[in-house]
Amino acid sequence: MNRSQIRWAGLAASVAVAIAVAGFYLGRASSPPASPAASAPASNSTGERKVLYWHDPMVPGPRFDKPGKSPFMDMQLVPVYADSDTSEGGVKVSPTVQQNLGIRTAPATRTQVSSSFDAVGAVQFDERLNVAVQTRVAGYVERLAVRAPMEAVRKGQALATVFAPEWLGPQNEFLALERADVSPDIIAAARERMRALSIPDSLIRQSQATGTAQARFTLTAPASGVISELAVREGVAVTPGMTLFRIAGLEKVWAVAEVPEAQALHLRRGQRVKATLQADESQSFTGELKELIPEVNASSRTLKARFEVDNKGAKLIPGMLLRLQVAGPSTARLVVPSEAVIRTGKRAVVIVRTANGSFQPRDVSLGVDLGDQVEILQGLNEGEQVVASGQFLIDSEARLKSVLGSMAPASAPTSTSGVHTAEGKVESVDRDGIVISHGPVASLKWPEMTMGFSKPNPAAFADLKPGDTIRFDFKQGGAMGYELVSVQKLSGAKQ
């Protein structure tokens, strides 16, 4: 080729390059500009939060790069966002997810709580009012005025007539001495002898008035009540000290209730009680705690409390059931719903919603269980919001983040610079991070898992593609919690 031909060839090449460049710029000028939403990943569009990964809150270890149904549980995967607050073991949950999971919060409130409680007691005779009627002489029961147990009697009412032959001799001697006009000292001695034989003064006066010894006397009721025990019948012989009748008083009765030992600790003698008939709540009575029997029922873990209840109208009879309202002092207590507390056996945990909207687990000390509410002794302040529904899902996520952030023990092999090494497979690559399915990380005691790692800058590791097998170094930091430091492709990686 001569110089002229070479000159023409070079000119043609230059013209071709110029036409190509002009066509490129003309195409860009004629085409509409690409919108930010089209050029950037969908997760970075204006007003949207960046999703780091999806996971199953009930099995929080494995991570997934797209939404869907969990392979472990019958539930949808939950997204974890880049702006989730992981400080102090906390997590952030979007309002949409909160609604889907049914997360509900309630404030810790200080309220007046009374230590009073209700119990059911059975009516019994007040054994302190029981009276025994005995005879102090041998004889016979000639007539009974009361013939059946549980018969009501009044104080001074006749119960039985007893014939006592042994009383005839001392009375005849006394009458003879009076007729003989002996010394007053001898007559006084004879009178004292009759009293020592338990001869009633009324019977002695009757003997003096009639001039005849009296051997029949009437036993009367020393108190009002009912005959709880009838030990004789007409014609039977009686001996000194024999109990003929036992009278149970009804002015007051006992209401004996089984009280759980946790509540029994707060009972004090003298506490007032309001009692109502279980069969008729319109009838009420007053009383007070008299005794707390010092014996615990091993099967029911209860103690018997004995309440003394007024029964002046004699409406209460043994066997009736009373509903007892035991009054106690009222104190201010900090309480939360019982369902908000996660009990692990050794610990009690609540999930607290912080001012920035994140959720943090917090250990608390529990006090008295109030049924739907429980007292908080330590760990919460009045007005703080606690999660009352869905707290187990949040707690599992908070535990995962806390473990991933601080699992490296001093004994584990790790570099002094905080850089850790692992091997794995690239699952996906985007502008800000790389999702890697990696093996165990000994320095952090991590098991095998799939998770995202931040890039140090958007242009880093541009030659990586899904499916590449790599050895990589990473450290804590970045938007995803851990950031890649270096990446080396291993043999067999895709080219």
pLDDT at position 415 is 46
**Per-residue pLDDT tens digits for 360-407:** 888 899 987 877 888 999 889 999 989 888 766 666 655 555 544 444
CATH class (in words) of the domain with range 250-327: mainly beta
pLDDT at position 394 is 64
Q: Which superfamily is assigned to 407-495 in CATH? A: Copper binding periplasmic protein CusF (2.40.50.320)
pLDDT at position 111 is 87
pLDDT at position 417 is 57
Q: Do 149 and 229 touch, CB atoms closer than 8 A?
A: yes
**Per-residue pLDDT tens digits for 176-216:** 888 888 888 998 898 888 888 888 888 888 888 888 888 88
Q: Confirm whether 127-248 and 407-495 share one CATH topology.
A: yes
> What is the distance between the alpha carbons of residues 483 and 134, in angstroms, rounded to a whole number?
99
The CATH architecture that domain 105-115+332-399 belongs to is Beta Barrel (2.40)
pLDDT at position 437 is 92
pLDDT at position 202 is 85
**Per-residue pLDDT tens digits for 402-444:** 544 444 333 344 444 578 899 999 999 988 899 999 988 888 8
Decide which of 1.10.3720.10, 3.40.50.880, 2.60.40.290, 2.40.50.100 is the CATH code for 127-248. 2.40.50.100
For the chain, domain boundaries: 105-115+332-399, 127-248, 250-327, 407-495
Classify residue 432 as left (phi > 0), alpha (psi -120 to 50) or beta: alpha
pLDDT at position 452 is 87
In angstroms and rounded to an integer, the radius of gyration of the C-alpha atoms of the chain is 49
**Per-residue pLDDT tens digits for 213-233:** 888 888 999 999 999 999 999
pLDDT at position 391 is 64
pLDDT at position 76 is 84
| SS3 of residue 480 by DSSP | coil
> What is the distance between the alpha carbons of residues 4 and 370, in angstroms, rounded to a whole number?
106
Intervals of the chain under pLDDT 50: 1-46, 85-89, 403-416, 493-495
pLDDT at position 201 is 84
pLDDT at position 376 is 92
> What is the distance between the alpha carbons of residues 81 and 79, in angstroms, rounded to a whole number?
6
> What is the distance between the alpha carbons of residues 361 and 384, in angstroms, rounded to a whole number?
13
pTM for the full model? 0.46
Q: What percent of the residues of the chain are helix, what percent strand, and what percent coil, each to the nearest 5?
A: 20, 40, 40
pLDDT at position 47 is 54
